[in-house]
Structure 1
Amino acid sequence: MSEFVVLFAVGLLLLAVGSTALVLGAARLDRATGRSAFAVGLVAVGFGPCVAGLAFDLAAVLHKLPRLAMGNVIGGNIASIGLVLGAAVLVRPITGTAKLFATAIPLVIVAALLFWFLARDNKVERIEAGVLLVAGLGALALLIHKARQESEPVKAEFAAWVPNRLSMWTAGGLVLAGLGALIGGAVLVTTNANETVRRLSLDSHRLGLVSAGVMALPALVAAVCAARRGRSNLVLGLAVGPALFNLLLVVGTVAMVRPLLVIEGAILNEVPAMALFTLLLVTPLANGLRVSRGEGAILLVACAGFVAWQVTKK
């Protein structure tokens, strides 16, 4: 295997590990300021998994690789729903109880359709980025309002996500180490992306799609652990939250820095596939936030099929 491919893969792993360290350390420091553990945990679960993708996308557009970034956006949402939720439910079926998902899941569907509409001309310019950012902030405000109505057991479940046992020194070290890993990973990814594209015979868009699966590994591990402990709301949060904020806040932020490009044909292929994965969330919404092993298997097989399609297509 080419050294460029190896270095690209190392960069992806650094982004995944660095984002996890940064989120955990930042959550502990944020909790020390007096903010409620529920609020800190909710943000960490909903937005934490997006950090690696945000660093990846920003580095890509700054190095004039906008199609790599767009591929990662689409792949990230498919991984959140197909891989993270699907694999976690195979370990143990879940039944969510948090009221905010009755709002969050429709918001994800609306976000996917909005993204599809704004990117219909194969690019996301700064004007469209502004629309996504405004929509993202509006969705965040609405979810915060809904979260205040949650029951104490639900709040305790999200609060348990905060690593309260970490010392402040350890938390600070995790933040610094996480930032360093994110920067190093972003540099490795962007400096080796072009050669990796040539060696693997993938265009940059498809490389971004596949890369998203690697960076979703921390969320996958966290969701599986949460499922084993019976924390259904955390599992749903790790799937639904990143899918929502990735399309609105991450894409909006990145496209403000530099417009994003979608390869020709993706609006008729990969983006509809992403929207279809999002629409699969209607089933748990209609079934009282229950997701069975059979439904998890469908999600996982669909995700594997999507990856195989991207890797093998000409």
Structure 2
Amino acid sequence: MAYVLLIVGFVLLIKGADFFVDGSSNIARLLRVPPILIGLTIVAFGTSSPEVTVSIIASLQGTADVSMGNVIGSNIFNITLVVGVAAVLFPIKVENETIRKEIPFTLLASVTLLILMNDKVLQGLNLNTISRSDGLVFLLFLSVFMFYVIEVALKSRENGSEVTAVQDVKWGKNITITILGLLGIVLGGQMVVENGKDIAYSWGMSEALVGLTIIAIGTSLPELVTSITAALKKESEIALGNIVGSNIFNILFVLGTSAVISPLEVSGKITIDILIMIAITVLLLAFSRTNFRISKREGLVLVIGYIVYTVYIIVRN
């Protein structure tokens, strides 16, 4: 029964995120917000909302390993499998701004996470924790990123980007869709956490492993579907920007908010996964700099990397 409820939870998360993005994007258009700002804020939050919900619920229930595993596992899944599959389907063009600013910012966020959670090594404490003050640091970093996003949006507007027309878009319908989406996300998140933990215990899996695998994959399905769709439409350059933005959001907003609500005790094993996340982010940056594209061969390397990583963490458990 736990497996059925887990799948139902994932369906609610994915459809809830889909409803939330559609409804809130239309509301933003009604408010005459530039399209680029919608994409970099509302859509980014919408595709990350499953991770947000699952991690906050896990944090409140005292299962920090699920929260951490979800974020790190989702980021690794996004960079390797999502970007990899999209590139195999159609080589990904990489924007100059993504190479110069967005991927390095993802790397900065990842290194900051590694430093802030390593209390045993750096401060000689008994536990590795992400404290409330660490969470506030993440949220401050997020505010810097959002300042950058708004600056990009304003430049785009000055360069003549038009605000999308709002014909046949109604307030009542879109407010209802947005609220239903949020309800689906919250309910689905609770079902995923509860049943994911039950499955982990029944299989003898650790909370960190179930967070890194089952829950991370489930909450990253919106990004996977979006990127594959973009690749099939030969608009795969959209995919990389969305994935990079989502990974920044996952670390800074998801972990920042979770830690502010309830400090996270971090398992020592998760340090290795953070180092792997940093390494593949560097690899993504290197691939992106080769002719401003990620080729099919490089995409295949990323996909194989995810398979190897998955085997490693299962064996490690």
TM-score after normalising by structure 2? 0.88
- 8 Å Cα contact 2:68-2:211 kept in structure 1: yes
Match of 2:234 in 1: 230
- Residue 241 of structure 2 is aligned to residue 243 of structure 1: no
Between the aligned partners of 1:148 and 1:66, the Cα distance in structure 2 is 38
Between the aligned partners of 2:77 and 2:160, the Cα distance in structure 1 is 25
Q: Map of 1:199-214 to 2, 5 A cutoff?
A: 199-210=202-213, 211-214=215-218
> Shift in Å at residue 187 of structure 1?
2.3
Q: 2:111 aligns with which of 101, 110, 113?
A: 113
Q: 1:183 aligns with which of 182, 186, 191?
A: 186
- Residue 138 of structure 2 is aligned to residue 132 of structure 1: yes
Shift of the 29–76 alpha-carbon distance from structure 1 to 2, 3 Å rule, reads same
Between the aligned partners of 1:81 and 1:252, the Cα distance in structure 2 is 21
Match of 2:294 in 1: 291
Give deviations 1:146-205, integer Å, cap 9, x for gaps: 45445999968xx89x99876545433321221221122122123334322212221111
Q: Runs (4+) of structure 1 moved beyond 6 Å?
A: 151-156, 162-165
Of 43-52 and 300-309, deviating more is 43-52
Between the aligned partners of 1:229 and 1:116, the Cα distance in structure 2 is 37
Shift of the 148–295 alpha-carbon distance from structure 1 to 2, 3 Å rule, reads farther
Between the aligned partners of 2:14 and 2:63, the Cα distance in structure 1 is 20
Match of 1:194 in 2: 197
- Residue 79 of structure 2 is aligned to residue 73 of structure 1: no
> Shift in Å at residue 53 of structure 1?
0.2
Of 52-61 and 20-29, deviating more is 20-29
Shift of the 149–258 alpha-carbon distance from structure 1 to 2, 3 Å rule, reads same
> Shift in Å at residue 51 of structure 1?
0.8
Between the aligned partners of 1:125 and 1:228, the Cα distance in structure 2 is 42
- Secondary structure of 2:97's counterpart equals coil
Shift of the 313–149 alpha-carbon distance from structure 1 to 2, 3 Å rule, reads same
Q: Map of 1:52-91 to 2, 5 A cutoff?
A: 52-91=50-89
Q: 1:220 aligns with which of 217, 224, 232?
A: 224
Quick one: which amino acid aligns to residue 138 of structure 2? L
Match of 2:265 in 1: 261
Match of 1:31 in 2: 29
Shift of the 79–154 alpha-carbon distance from structure 1 to 2, 3 Å rule, reads farther
Between the aligned partners of 1:103 and 1:133, the Cα distance in structure 2 is 18
> Shift in Å at residue 208 of structure 1?
0.8
> Shift in Å at residue 265 of structure 1?
2.5
Q: 2:18 aligns with which of 12, 17, 20?
A: 20
- Secondary structure of 2:187's counterpart equals helix
- 8 Å Cα contact 1:68-1:207 kept in structure 2: yes
Shift of the 164–183 alpha-carbon distance from structure 1 to 2, 3 Å rule, reads farther
Match of 1:99 in 2: 97
Of 288-297 and 277-286, deviating more is 277-286
- Residue 304 of structure 2 is aligned to residue 304 of structure 1: no
- Secondary structure of 2:268's counterpart equals coil
Match of 1:174 in 2: 177
- Secondary structure of 1:48's counterpart equals helix
Quick one: which amino acid aligns to residue 299 of structure 2? G
Quick one: which amino acid aligns to residue 180 of structure 1? L
Between the aligned partners of 1:284 and 1:151, the Cα distance in structure 2 is 31
- 8 Å Cα contact 2:37-2:149 kept in structure 1: no
Give deviations 1:14-51, integer Å, cap 9, x for gaps: 22221222122111111111111221122244333211
- Secondary structure of 1:205's counterpart equals helix
Between the aligned partners of 1:233 and 1:151, the Cα distance in structure 2 is 21
Match of 2:122 in 1: none
RMSD between aligned alpha carbons? Answer: 2.6
- Secondary structure of 2:278's counterpart equals helix
- 8 Å Cα contact 1:18-1:179 kept in structure 2: yes
Quick one: which amino acid aligns to residue 62 of structure 2? K
Structure 1 segments unaligned to the other structure (5+ residues): none
| Identity among equivalent pairs (%) | 27
Aligned residues: 308
- 8 Å Cα contact 1:90-1:297 kept in structure 2: yes
